Amino acid sequence: MATAFGNLVMAIRGIGSNWLRTLLTMLGVLIGVASVIVLLAIGTGSSQSIEKSIESLGSNTLTVFSGSSSGSTTGTKIRNSTLNTASVTALSNSFNDPDVKSVSPVVTTSVTATYNGASYSTSVIGSTASYLSAENYTVSAGRSISRADVAERAPVIDIGTSVASALFATGADPLGKQIQLGSSEFTVVGLLASKGSSGLSNQDAVAIAPYTAVQDQLTGESASFSELLVQGKSSATLSLAESEVESTLASLNDTTVANLPFTVIDSASLLSTATSSSQTFTALLGWVAAVSLLVGAIGVMNIMLVTVTERTREIGIRKAIGARRRVILTQFLIESTVISFLGGIFGVLAGILVSHFKIDGVTPVLASYSIPLALGVAISVGIVAGFYPAHRAASLRPIDALRYE
Amino acid sequence: MIIRDEVDAPDDEVIGSRAAEPIIALKGIVKSYAMGGVEVLAIRGISLIVERGEFVAIMGTSGSGKSTLMNIVGCLDVPTSGHYRLDGVNIRHLDDVALSRIRNKKIGFVFQGFNLIPRMSAIHNVELPMAYSGVKPAERRKRAVVALEMVGLGDRLSHFSSELSGGQQQRVAIARAMCTNPSLILADEPTGNLDSRSSAELMSLFTSLHDQGRTIVMITHEPDIAAYASRVVVLRDGEIVSNRPQDASNAVSYELAPSGRYSFGGSGDEG
Ligand SMILES: Nc1ncnc2c1ncn2[C@@H]1O[C@H](COP(=O)(O)OP(=O)(O)OP(=O)(O)O)[C@@H](O)[C@H]1O
Ligand SMILES: [Mg+2]
């Protein structure tokens, strides 16, 4: 009887007898496998970048907003419920607030920055030098805005890499150049090192100037700040710092901590909220990947079923000239295994290749489990879907297989 | 030789020939198809004996059941009722493996519609039955080349069936049918799609196979093709209406090379 090797030769001849059909079948497997791998890589990549960008926000900071979270300020005697220089001075007192490292007032606005015809819309943060360290920004060239700049209300600015690359030609040195923000001119004194973009926002599309200058030139003179950024001495003492900030602000405003007209949020709780939402996102992408794996598997099944069923007559001929059922089954099993396997391998390669490109601003990160998962499902589905119709055809009487249309 | 019931015939006995028995023995064969609740009787009780070395032509109007009968004789189909002994073996209770061996070793089938495997070269088509019977590749190739040369296709070995004419495809099918040296050759309208010259060439091929002692059963509509046979069986509505021997020498002779030109001698001698 025919040997195993003879079977293999026959199966390969069967595969080779219709290259187009074979290639199309392989393509079906390939696309199924590659799409699952890429989709899971996008999911992993974006959830990783969300986590990274949240970490880069700074892990031991408190943000103080105007407005009460409890909403029960009515009726209390509030002399001063805005965040102003007095609040900054009070919070900077190291006797009352021993666990606070720095307090930075924050004024934000959005403007269109222009230079030599190039323009870019960016958010401008007016603050002090301590803002940069609290938010984990570092200066890669030039200098940071200084205490003196704030005091002198100097129109100087540190710009992020996205702003720099949008306004200046590559190779040009932005330091010392005057850029136009709205109707005012600011001198670039420093470049911020890139923090990378996240799925949420581009942290390099930012410009930081002294808050005094921002108030003078952009937002208009005002006694209040939109928020205060408080940096704690360490993450361990952040909750101590939080209660110190609350009681200082309460006594400054002649009220109790319970009726404080401000909201204090710590970055750790922000982190945990964001982490849990990114986990939800990953789980969602997992479902999408599972559905696409299912769709891919159905595609593989469909194309295998069609191609093998199409060959029912061929199976009838083979039976009529003396092929045993087992020989036919072995041939088709080898054929569908080889096709699914080659398609699967090329699918993995294609998936890995595509995952090297940025897709919609997300850098995909290969999930190691996705490769055996996609390959395993595609190959087993391909084999079963190829084997089943071959088995059905081989079990027919030769005459019925021959008559099949 | 003791003739037993063949229910549990082992392989050797299935394949082993019993010279004492006719090669085909049909008794009360009935084949019916259920067509939408109505039973269609394609064959209504046929009994027929074909002895070793006979050349039988089967004739009859379209739809008279010729192909149905041929498919049963060739073990491609099973009768609804009746007994069929092929070479002394009752085929009713044989399993897939045993039937495959019979189709492979004892029968060479030439179909009306050629039934070559598409997108496979002529030589690979001819090699296929030998591959299934376990002939070594080198030997297989040699015998396939000989068979194809014998049917005049020595220069078309690697052509696909789609690249061959109808007559050439039918000759590939005949080469495929005879390369395993079957004792029985079944042909369903082998000349149905051929012109008279190709038909005559084909018939001298069959005549020489017959001269070598092979049994041939052939369906045809053409009386001058049937004239090559030593016996003509006529069917009508699934029954035999005429079964008479004839003198094969009254066959119309075309201007052809002597039939001895086509000789097919066993395993792999050069043609
Ligand atoms: N698979 C089938 N299902 C139902 N009826 C069938 C089937 N095969 C054959 N028949 C019927 O059986 C009868 C005999 O058919 P068969 O093919 O044997 O005729 P035939 O003598 O070979 O005709 P032709 O000369 O046209 O080839 C016909 O009436 C046909 O309709
Ligand atoms: Mg017919």
Is A233 in CB contact (< 8 Å) with chain B? no
Ligand whose nearest atom lies closest to the CA of B64: 1
Instruction: Report the pLDDT value the prediction gives residue B220, as an integer from 0 to 100.
Output: 93
Residue A54 to residue A195: CA distance in whole angstroms:
11
How confident is the model over A389-398, as a mean pLDDT?
A: 87
Q: Is the CB of B66 under 6 A from ligand 1?
A: yes
Q: Is the CB of B68 under 6 A from ligand 1?
A: yes
Residue A362 to residue A377: CA distance in whole angstroms:
27
Minimal CA separation from B99 to chain A, in Å = 8
Residue B177 to residue A296: CA distance in whole angstroms:
43
Is A318 in CB contact (< 8 Å) with chain B? yes
**Structural domain boundaries enclosing B126:** 52-77+96-250
- DSSP β-ladder status, A139-142 and A156-159: unpaired
pLDDT at B265 over 50: no
pLDDT at A231 over 70: yes
- Counting atoms of ligand 1 from 1, which one is nearest the CA of B70? 18
Number of independent structural domains in chain B: 1
Residue A124 to residue A362: CA distance in whole angstroms:
25
- pLDDT per residue as tens digits for the range A122-142: 889 999 988 988 888 889 989
Instruction: Report the pLDDT value the prediction gives residue A74, as an integer from 0 to 100.
Output: 47
* Greater model confidence, A284 or B123: B123
Length of chain A counted residue by residue? 405
Confidence at B79, pLDDT banded by 50, 70, 90: very high
Confidence at B125, pLDDT banded by 50, 70, 90: very high
| Mean model confidence pLDDT for chain B | 84
- Counting atoms of ligand 1 from 1, which one is nearest the CA of B68? 18
Instruction: Report the pLDDT value the prediction gives residue A7, as an integer from 0 to 100.
Output: 66
Instruction: Report the pLDDT value the prediction gives residue B122, as an integer from 0 to 100.
Output: 94
CA B220 / ligand 2 centre spacing (Å): 9
Instruction: Report the pLDDT value the prediction gives residue A6, as an integer from 0 to 100.
Output: 66
CA B70 / ligand 2 centre spacing (Å): 9
ipTM value, please give it.
0.84
- pLDDT per residue as tens digits for the range A37-92: 888 888 888 777 776 666 666 667 888 887 755 444 444 444 447 888 888 888 88
Nearest CB to A324 within list B97, B128, B180: B97
- pLDDT per residue as tens digits for the range A303-348: 777 877 888 899 999 999 999 999 888 888 888 888 888 889 999 9
Nearest CA to ligand 1 atom 26: B62
Domain boundaries, chain A: 4-53+273-403, 68-99+234-260, 100-232
Confidence at B173, pLDDT banded by 50, 70, 90: very high
pLDDT at B198 over 50: yes
* Greater model confidence, A20 or A113: A113
- Interface-testing mutation among B72, B76, B139, with chain A (most A C-beta atoms within 10 A): B76
Instruction: Report the pLDDT value the prediction gives residue A49, as an integer from 0 to 100.
Output: 74
B56 within some domain: yes
Instruction: Report the pLDDT value the prediction gives residue B152, as an integer from 0 to 100.
Output: 86
pLDDT at A226 over 90: no
Nearest CB to A397 within list B78, B97, B105: B78
B23 within some domain: no
Instruction: Report the pLDDT value the prediction gives residue B247, as an integer from 0 to 100.
Output: 75
Q: Is the CB of B238 under 6 A from ligand 1?
A: no
Residues of chain A above pLDDT 70, percent: 87
Stretch among A21-35, B2-16, B86-100 having the lowest mean pLDDT: B2-16
pLDDT at A353 over 60: yes
Check which CATH number belongs to the domain holding B120 and give it. Answer: 3.40.50.300
Instruction: Report the pLDDT value the prediction gives residue A14, as an integer from 0 to 100.
Output: 65
Is A402 in CB contact (< 8 Å) with chain B? yes
Is residue A405 within 8 Å of residue A323, measured between CB atoms?
A: no
Instruction: Report the pLDDT value the prediction gives residue A55, as an integer from 0 to 100.
Output: 64
Q: Say whether B132 and A397 touch across the interface (CB within 8 A).
A: no
Tokens linked to B20: 């004492």
Q: Say whether A399 and B100 touch across the interface (CB within 8 A).
A: no
- Nearest one of B45, B38, B48 to B80, comparing CA atoms: B45
Is residue B28 within 8 Å of residue B204, measured between CB atoms?
A: no
pTM reported for the whole predicted model: 0.66
B19 within some domain: no
How confident is the model over B187-197, as a mean pLDDT?
A: 85
Confidence at B7, pLDDT banded by 50, 70, 90: very low
* Cβ count within 10 A of residue A243: 13
How confident is the model over B106-116, as a mean pLDDT?
A: 90
Residue A176 to residue A142: CA distance in whole angstroms:
9
pLDDT at A170 over 60: yes
B83 exposure class (CB count in 10 Å sphere: 0-12, 13-18, 19+): middle
B5 within some domain: no
Nearest CB to A1 within list B118, B134, B137: B134
Beta bridge partners of B27: B83
Exposed e or buried b per residue across A74-112, where buried means at least 16 C-beta atoms within 10 angstroms of its C-beta: eeeeeeebebbeebbebbbeeeebebbbbbbbbbbbebe
- pLDDT per residue as tens digits for the range B237-259: 999 999 999 875 544 444 343 44
Instruction: Report the pLDDT value the prediction gives residue A200, as an integer from 0 to 100.
Output: 56
B213 within some domain: yes
